[in-house]
Amino acid sequence: MSENELPDTKAGRVDWVIRAETNEEMRRRYDLWAQDYDSDVGSYDDYLVPWEATKVAEIVLSKEALILDAGAGTGLVGQTLKEAGFQRLIAVDYSEGMLDIARKKQVYEDVHQCDLSRPTQFETGSIDCVITCGTTTQMPCASLREFARIVRPKGKIIFAVVPDAWVDFGYADILSELEAQGKLSVKSRGEPFQMLPTTEPDFYCEIWVIDVR
């Protein structure tokens, strides 16, 4: 361990952060990791999800769409979306330390620190799409209800899903509830791929597109 608690290796830091046992501990660890995050997982070889999610966004969204990047971290997804021509981006994350890095990249119209498992400042139906990457084991599953509220009818949720965690962390139950209420429906599920091939090769991810009804 280094003096500020961070493990000394990239793989160690990734493992230490994603295995935090509470939301508050996770936020604290992300705050500590923020300065090293991009060097640890900021390349395609280390973390494929931002690029794979952006490919899907290019298929299902207009470049004028207002996109909320939920669990934005240091803005890796925002950067890839911006490079692909998406201009209207908002960042939300639980870690102020991570968002400090995201702000400096100047790819977002607005940056907000908040807990997405609770009601947020965003008006009902005010967002065209929520995109969320690397969050299945990190973000409370109740966030899915908030996404369903803030995304406009016929809008999209692009979710990078870790399938086992989707069930274990409660997302599957909430999705079933929202489907039964006629609020959401799964449009597509992408093929599984290694999301963190150099540090967590056993973690597989799928990019899901969920329609808001």
Task: Say what the pLDDT of residue 4 is.
Answer: 67
- Structure tokens of 141? 């599953």
For 21-71, the pLDDT digits (tens) are: 887 898 898 889 888 888 888 787 888 999 999 999 999 999 999 999 999
Tell me, what's the pLDDT at 183? 98
Exposed/middle/buried for 210, CB within 10 Å: 0-12, 13-18, 19+? Answer: buried
The CATH T-level fold of domain 49-212 is Rossmann fold (3.40.50)
Mean pLDDT for all residues in the chain: 93
Nearest Cα to Cα of residue 133 among 84, 185, 58, 81: 81
**190 to 99, 137, 206: CA distances (angstroms):** 28, 19, 5
- For the chain, residues with pLDDT lower than 70 are 1-4
CB 166 within 8 Å of CB 213: no
